Amino acid sequence: MADYHFVYKDVEGTSTQWDDIQRKLGNLPAKAPAFKPPSYTPAEDEASAPKDQAWFDEKTEEELEDLEDDKDLDDDRFLEEYRKKRLTELREAAKVRRYGTVTPISGSDFVREVTQASAEDWVVVCLYKDGFAECGVLLGCLDELASRYPATKFVKIISTDCIPNYPDCNLPTLLVYHIGAVKGTHVGLKSVGRRCTPESVALVLCQSEPVLNDGKGGDDDSSRVMAGVRRQFIERVVKDHEDKDNDDDGYNSD
């Protein structure tokens, strides 16, 4: 016959009278306090969080789509309209191609990357060669413009890879393309201003066409960008004059 052993345990924290006497005499350690679970604190429910414009601004396109059947929004026409507005803005922004850097290309890439580029894209091509200081100056300006205007495509290519036997005296050269056609040609560093800065290059690129695009969209996108280009150019000129005056004052004080 199997031998069964039973272990009986009393309620946790229960103590006998004998144990209590022994504890008073110091023969047993103090009784451990009975386990008490922490009080329940309900986590903030996402559904109960207050919905306002800032709440919608943090949502992704997918999350805004999921809110389409939200009953709370059905009862608040303003919030539902704002949800639709934010969803439209996100979808429009997603349509804009994003670049943000000056991409190096080879001769075999030129047709695909430049002449066959999207009809919505303006493409700025820099013909350059390594070791030419003026090319480095212009490319530095283009790097900054590419980050400011990520919806404009900037590429660079070794001059002779693009045009065989292209004269080094013409470097650097900027070519502006749109819908497969050349819309602008700027030869040499002097063509972008007496002092080459991102602002002077931007102003030259936008002299006759809205080449630069910041990707923010809007009904008056080109006018807004052009106004920004002119403002930045003027601010740069003013700053340069102030810096020159400060340098002259420092020199005269010596």
d(CA 201, CA 212): 11
Q: Same structural domain for residues 91 and 154?
A: no
At residue 244, the pLDDT reads: 59
- Same domain for 125 and 219? yes
Lay out the sheet containing 122-128: strands in order across: 102-104, 153-158, 122-128, 173-178, 181-187
Closest CA to 155 of 91, 188, 107: 107
Confirm whether 68 is domain-assigned: yes
Same domain, 82 and 113: no
* Tokens read off for 32: 């451990």
Residue span of the structural domain in which 85 resides:
53-95
- pLDDT band at 211; cut points 50, 70, 90: very high
The tens digit of pLDDT for each residue in 119-158 reads 989 999 999 999 999 999 999 999 999 999 999 999 999 9
Mean pLDDT of 35-59: 64
Split into its structural domains, the chain has a count of 2
* Antiparallel, parallel or unpaired: β 181-187 and 173-178: antiparallel
